[in-house]
Each structure stands twice: as structure tokens, then as C-alpha cells.
Amino acid sequence: MKKTKKIELLAPAGNKEKMKTAFLYGADAVYAGIPDFSLRVRINDFSLVTIAEGLDYAHSLGKKMYVTINIFAHNKHLEKLPEYIKKLKKIGVDALIISDPGVISIVKKHWPKAEIHLSTQANCTNWQSAKFWYDQGISRVILGREVTLEEIREIKKKVPKLELEYFVHGAMCMSYSGRCFLSKHFIDKSANLGDCVQPCRWNFFISEEKRPGMPLEIVEEEHGTYILNSKDLCLIKHLSELKKAGIDSFKIEGRAKSIYYLAVVVGAYKKAISLLSKRLPDLSLKRELNKLYKELFTKLVHRGYTEGFLFNKKAEENKEVSHIFGDWEFCGEVVASSKIKGTKDSYNTNIKVHNSIKIEDYLEILNPKYEIVKIIIKKIFNIKKQDFVEAAHGGQGTEIQIKTRVKIPEGSVVRRKIK
């Protein structure tokens, strides 16, 4: 009997806390990088020290950590790279994600046996390009989001030993796989060096060339219009097609996202992958995947969802609003839960507050098994004040205690209904 191929679920990690959340909710591997050489300068807390710590943690779980060196390097970067690569070699990271051929050359010189994954920024969109990189010793190519399902099949057929990675969820760049100059043009922060401020999400006006002082506002909602604002990618309904086409790793975008985003998204895709392995009837599988899609649509902030270019269609834009806000708000993280002595099914559950929680709030607690506990808050005990309170607010290191009827695993995330 032919062994079923195991699909890797690859999640973003902007810091160690986010990395641990990603692993807790089912990621098989994470990708991270330090600001100097990674396409994520801001909201990135990794250093060589924390990468080493993160790698040890990943390996203790039997999981992997990949490090990004995916900037488009200038001459000044080349001077620092050899020493950096030697340190990564000593740490022993599982793979390097690189876009620049010059950087690949330097890595091969200083770490010949390094496993190299070609970044999506290298714009590999055809089988001949994929074969070229495979012949250079690249073990995996992260395909551009522009690649269609039919093209994936052909690439895998022509280069069968090359691992293929594909983005299945997250933000979509309006430029060609991230090669954009808007951020550099407007405020001198280069997207190609990891410092994009996403001007494509801004509200724009139009101006007639002979009347530059008379901008015309294009109004589609109270804040204007968003003519460059792509919808977010969501392919949770199409993982089976991607697997059959030859994708080896499903990648989630979002190193700058919160632990709540990671818990919801990673957990949903892990559950979807497990559903694929059960070989459910088509209608049953479709029903379960639709439930997960609804979870992603209603309980996260996003820009609306699109299937991107997967089926050779024009990718969709969200021109009406910058974001779509769901019915729920992330409000806390479970840090402890213990049974109350003398009770049969009552537990004290401690929550680190991230946003406000108040009496009579309707909460959902999502645990790492992607199970949901629903409660209405009747009492809130402020641990620091050692007193009952009407409300608790985030941003102050606030920790509260509430009563639940089941033990809640540490790392579970808490959201409250706001609509």
C-alpha cells in the first residue's frame, strides 16, 4: 500500500511567543528571521540568540524552524553576510529561505550543506525556472502566488524531486510577489528590504494633471476608497486540490500578526489537513471545510477573502473598505486553569487580558484542539487587586480569574462577541 504523503503546515513567527502559539495549534514548522536580512523589519523580535532558543524549542517538539535571508541585498549587506551565515550554521537551523542569487552563492561558500528554500520573492512561476533552481541545489521552491493549480501540476510533473511550497492564507501584495516601490517612494522605507508600510492599503485621491491643487476624493464608504487594496488569500476549501497537484508545504502569511490570529488560522488549517487524511465523503468534507471557512471569516479582522490566482482568475480587490471586522474581538489568553477543591466540575481559570472583558460579556475560548468553550461572564476576580471587579482592560499586564465548567488548556485564546 502506497504511503500517503504528509503535508507540512508552515506558520509565521514574529517572536518566540508567536512561535510557541503556532506550534501549540498544530504547525509542523515555522519561519522567522532577524531584521537585518529578513523581509520583516518591524514587529520582529528575533535575534541570533532567540533564533537559537527557538530552534531548540522546535526540535524538542520534533518540529522545524526555517530562517529567512530574503532581502534583495545591496553591496553593504554582502559584507555582513558571511559571519551571519557561519553563526546560523553553528546554530544548525533547518533551512534558509533566500531570494537573491548572490546571497545563495555566499551561503554555498560558507555553508555548502545548508538546505536552501527559494523565497517567493524570487518569482519562480514556471517549471523551467524551478528546474534551474533544483539543478543549483535548491531543495524547495516557494512558488509565487501568481502560479495556477494547473501550473503547479506541470511543475511537479517536470521536476518531481523538487519540494513545492505554496501560500494558502494571508495578505496579498498588489505588486508582483512583493517587488514594490510604493513604500520607498512615499516615506523612504523599502519593501524589498523588509520595511513595507503597505501604502496599497491607504485611501487615495485622484488629481487632474493641470489642476494639482484640486484633488478629487473617490467615495465608496465614509473613509474614502481603496483602489489598490487586495483581498486576503484563503484556500482552506482547496487544500485537497493543492495536495493532489504536488504541494508539499502549506504556508501561512503573517509574521506581524497576533497570537490570536495564529491560533485561529493555524488551528483551522491543521484541522482541515486532518480532515483530508480521514477520507470523508465529498459532501461531508465540504461541509466541515465550510465551517472552518466561516470561522476564519467571522472571527478575524481581514480584508475579505479571495482564491487569488489559483484557478486562473483575476484576483479580487477590496475597494470599499481597508478591513472587514468580524463579530468577535480577541480579549485574552489562558495562562492557568485548576480545579476548585470540593467541586465536581468547577475550575478557576486565569486569563491574561489583551482587550477589555466585562461582566455579562459572551466569551468563546478556543483551545489548541480547536474546541470551543462558550461562557457568559458573571464574576471577574482581579488577581493583582485581589478583588472582584466589573471590568478588566488590557495593556496593563492585567490578569483575571473566572470560573469555567471544564479545565481550559494553557495557551487557549479568548474572544468576546462585539456584535
Q: Where are the chain's structural domains?
A: 8-176+230-306, 328-417
For the segment 206-211, the average pLDDT, to the nearest whole number, is 74
Q: Is the model more confident about 182 or about 108?
A: 108
Write down the pLDDT at residue 326.
Answer: 76
CATH architecture of 8-176+230-306: Alpha-Beta Barrel (3.20)
What separation in angstroms does the CA of 343 have from each of 166, 326, 334, 338, 378? 49, 37, 21, 11, 18
User: Cell numbers of 138, please?
Assistant: 535548491
For residue 120, pLDDT beyond 80: yes
Write down the pLDDT at residue 319.
Answer: 46
What is the distance between the alpha carbons of residues 135 and 129, in angstroms, rounded to a whole number?
10
SS3 395: coil
Helix 101-110 vs helix 75-91: angle between axes, to the nearest 10 degrees?
Answer: 40
User: Cell numbers of 219, please?
Assistant: 467615495
What is the distance between the alpha carbons of residues 263 and 414, in angstroms, rounded to a whole number?
10
- List, for residues 291-313, the tens digit of each pLDDT value: 999 999 999 988 889 998 899 87
What is the distance between the alpha carbons of residues 335 and 124, in angstroms, rounded to a whole number?
43
Percent of the chain exceeding pLDDT 90 equals 70
Write down the pLDDT at residue 314.
Answer: 63
Instruction: Kindly indicate the confidence band of residue 64, based on its pLDDT and cuts at 50, 70 and 90.
Output: very high
Beta strands in 131-208 (DSSP E): 140-142, 163-170, 205-206
Superfamily of domain 328-417: Translation factors (2.40.30.10)
Give the chain's count of helices (H) and strands (E). 10, 22
For residue 192, pLDDT beyond 60: no
Q: Which amino acid is at 242?
A: L
What is the distance between the alpha carbons of residues 417 and 205, in angstroms, rounded to a whole number?
35
For the segment 180-184, the average pLDDT, to the nearest whole number, is 65
Q: How many residues does the chain have?
A: 419
Residue with cell string 539543478: 135
Write down the pLDDT at residue 35.
Answer: 79
For residue 336, pLDDT beyond 50: yes
Instruction: Kindly indicate the confidence band of residue 118, based on its pLDDT and cuts at 50, 70 and 90.
Output: very high
Instruction: Kindly indicate the confidence band of residue 213, based on its pLDDT and cuts at 50, 70 and 90.
Output: confident
DSSP state of 230: B
